[in-house]
Structure 1
C-alpha cells in the first residue's frame, strides 16, 4: 500500500506554521485542507487532549460563525498526532489567504473568558476532558510563533 501524501511530508523539517495539506475537487468545488501546525513534530511535546478538546470547541464555534469564512468552513479538528489542527475550507486557497483568519481564531481562543461552548454532558461525549487555561496558553504560544510568519512556515519542506 502506498503512503498517503501527508505521510510524505518531512516531519523532521516541519516548523510551526500554516500549510496547505491537500486540495480535493468535488464536482465544481475545491476543498482546501490546511495543516495548522502548532508544535514542531518529534522535537517538542505534543498538545494534551484536554487543551486540544477545549480548542476544538472554541475553534469550531468561532469559525462556523465567522462573518467572512463561516459559509466556507467544512471541518476544524485536531490531528491524531496532537501537534496541531486541520481546517478544511471550501475554495482553492493558499496559506497566505488564511493567515489573517488564523490570527483572528487564535486571538479569540487566547482571550476567551466565557463558558466553553458545548461543554456539558448533553452536548459533548467527553465534556469533562477540557482545560481552558492551557488552551488559552497554547493559543497564545502559537500566535507568538506566527507573529512574523515566514515563507518556510507557509510551505511544506521538500
Structure 2
C-alpha cells in the first residue's frame, strides 16, 4: 500500500507549532503540534478531550464558523488536526488557533457538551489539565506566521 502523506513527515525533527498538513480542494488541514513526537510525554486523554470540546466551541462561535470543518485529536496524542475551508486565510487560521488556546487557558465554567446526553465519554474530561496544556502552548503560536506553516525537511 502507498504511504499516506502524514507518514512522510519526519517526526524526529518536528517541533511544536502549526503546519499545513494537506490541501484537498477547498479543505485545508492544519497539524497543530503541541508536543515534539517521541521526545515529550503525550497529552492525557482527559486533557485532549476537554481541549477538543472547548476549541471546537470557540471556533464554531467565531465570525469564521462557516469555514470551520473539523477540529480533533491525533491518535498519537501529540496534537490536533484543524480543518478549515480555504476561505480562511493561513494567517487567520493561525490567529484562530492562538485565540482558541488562549481562551482555553483562561476558561472558567462548565465544559461545553460534557454531559452524559451530549458526550460519548462525559466522564473523561479535565479542565485543569486542558488549561495547563493550552497555557503552555498558545505562546508558541503568538509570533507564528504563514511562512512557518511548512514542515521542515
Work out whether the TM-score is over 0.5.
yes
Q: Which residue pairs with 1:34 in the alignment?
A: 30
Q: Which residue pairs with 1:56 in the alignment?
A: 52
2:14 is aligned with 1:18: no
TM-score (norm 1): 0.90
Residues 61-104 of structure 1 deviation map (CA, whole Å, 9 limit, x = unaligned): 1111111x111001000011100110110116664442211111
Q: Mark the runs of 5 or more structure 2 residues left unpaired by the alignment.
A: none
- What is the DSSP-based 3-state SS (H/G/I as helix, E as strand, rest coil) of the residue aligned with 2:31? strand
For the aligned residue pairs, the C-alpha RMSD in angstroms reads: 1.7
2:84 is aligned with 1:89: yes
Q: Is the Cα contact below 8 Å between 1:16 and 1:145 reproduced in 2?
A: yes
Residues 98-141 of structure 1 deviation map (CA, whole Å, 9 limit, x = unaligned): 22111111111000101000111110011010000010000010
Q: 1:22 to 1:59 in 2, by over 3 A?
A: same
Q: Which residue pairs with 2:62 in the alignment?
A: 66
- What is the DSSP-based 3-state SS (H/G/I as helix, E as strand, rest coil) of the residue aligned with 2:144? coil
Q: 1:64 to 1:4 in 2, by over 3 A?
A: same
Q: 1:132 to 1:116 in 2, by over 3 A?
A: same
Q: How many residues align?
A: 153
Q: 1:129 to 1:79 in 2, by over 3 A?
A: same
- What is the DSSP-based 3-state SS (H/G/I as helix, E as strand, rest coil) of the residue aligned with 1:21? strand
Q: Mark the runs of 5 or more structure 1 residues left unpaired by the alignment.
A: none
Candidates 112, 115, 122, aligned match of 2:117: 122
Distance 1:73 1:59 in 2: 11
Q: 1:94 to 1:21 in 2, by over 3 A?
A: farther
